[in-house]
């Protein structure tokens, strides 16, 4: 079926029965994540929402049959504790959607001194997925919510945490490229286990993600007018923005397109060029070193960490 920029998550899931499926949606109580959780629950899925603020998540999800647990993506121990609780439940996971994120944050150091965008948007999700991989079902899917990614984008390898000079937009862009590279490498490594991964650009959506921007900054950028009304014709609702990530998580059309970068419910880019593959493998190795987690290290008999 063909979908467009105007399609919603509910449109994508029309006629799809997710009863018996278990999904984990980070950030699943706000913005795109909330729209994603609602669509998955309405299609019959069980949804677990790990949240830094479980009390707020419970209120936001009131009336939805979704589970809430505690997890802070910026805290490696919190990620490990949540993963251990889910592993201990004995349930197989069919879908993981990494929807939580931060944007344009003032210079902030978290965990062992990591830059906040790289830590929350990438490293926290990298560690979470690697810890959950033992119970991701064959045919399971992992969706990394990225953003617009430049064809010439690169990781700032000599200073990934911007210790030598901070730029919030460069830090955000790096973390979103990391999301796409992570999905490409995960799909490559996970094929033998039947796990597929995708990255998505949800497009222009006004959500709490913009909380670190002032109204004046968004007016100056041409996003909104003085009354707060969106100006760009590309702006869509959270339900429309969630369509691509739900499509990535469920569409049978994508069975042979793992590792792809998706936008408006179409494959927009394949991260399969030599330079892409080199960056993706290098990022995986760096992420394993920083987090101490690599689910695929077990396969060759090395230390599973």
* 219 vs 172, residue with greater confidence: 172
Where residue 152 falls among pLDDT bands split at 50, 70, 90?
confident
SS3 272: coil
Instruction: Quote the pLDDT of residue 302.
Output: 42
Question: Which residue among the candidates 29, 126, 172, 261 is catalytic per the annotation?
Answer: 172
Where residue 298 falls among pLDDT bands split at 50, 70, 90?
low
Active site residue 126: no
Where residue 104 falls among pLDDT bands split at 50, 70, 90?
confident
DSSP 167: -
Determine contact, residues 132/84, Cβ cutoff 8 Å: no
Instruction: Quote the pLDDT of residue 283.
Output: 98
pLDDT, tens only, 184-231: 999 999 998 999 999 999 977 765 565 656 667 767 766 667 777 776
% residues pLDDT > 70 (the chain): 91
What domains does the chain contain, in order, with CATH numbers?
9-205+236-294 (3.40.50.720)
For residue 176, the cross-strand partners are: none
Q: What angle do CA 286, 287, 291 make, to 5 degrees?
A: 120
Three-state secondary structure string covering 18-84: CCCCEEEEECCCCHHHHHHHHHHHHCCCEEEEEECCHHHHHHHCCCCCEEEEECCCCCHHHHHHHHH
Instruction: Quote the pLDDT of residue 218.
Output: 64
């Amino acid at each position: 079926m063909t979908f467009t920029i105007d399609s919603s998550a509910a449109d994508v899931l029309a006629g799809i029965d997710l009863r018996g499926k278990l999904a984990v949606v980070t950030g699943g109580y706000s913005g795109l994540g909330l729209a994603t959780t609602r669509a998955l629950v309405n299609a019959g899925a069980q949804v677990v929402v790990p949240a830094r603020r479980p009390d707020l998540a419970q209120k936001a999800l009131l009336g939805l049959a979704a589970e809430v647990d505690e997890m802070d993506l910026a805290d490696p121990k919190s990620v490990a504790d949540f993963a251990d609780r889910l592993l201990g439940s004995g349930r197989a996971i069919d879908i993981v959607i990494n929807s939580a994120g931060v944007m344009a944050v003032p210079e902030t150091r978290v965990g062992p001194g990591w830059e906040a965008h790289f830590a929350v948007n990438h490293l926290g999700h990298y560690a979470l997925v690697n810890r959950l991989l033992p119970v991701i079902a064959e045919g399971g899917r992992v969706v990394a919510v990225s953003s617009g990614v430049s064809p010439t984008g690169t990781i700032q390898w000599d200073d990934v945490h911007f210790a030598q000079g901070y730029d919030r937009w460069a830090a955000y862009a790096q973390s979103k490229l990391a999301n796409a590279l992570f999905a490409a490498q995960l799909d490559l490594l996970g094929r033998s286990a039947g796990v597929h991964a995708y990255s998505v650009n949800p497009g222009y959506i006004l959500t709490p993600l913009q909380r670190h921007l002032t109204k004046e900054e968004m007016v100056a950028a041409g996003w909104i007018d003085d009354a707060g009304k969106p100006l760009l014709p590309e702006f869509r609702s959270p339900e429309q923005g969630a369509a691509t990530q739900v499509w990535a998580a469920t569409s049978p059309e994508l069975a042979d397109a793992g590792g792809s970068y998706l936008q408006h419910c179409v494959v927009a880019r394949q991260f399969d060029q030599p330079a892409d593959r080199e960056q993706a493998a290098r990022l995986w190795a760096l992420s394993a070193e920083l987090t101490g987690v690599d689910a695929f290290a077990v396969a060759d008999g090395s230390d599973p960490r």
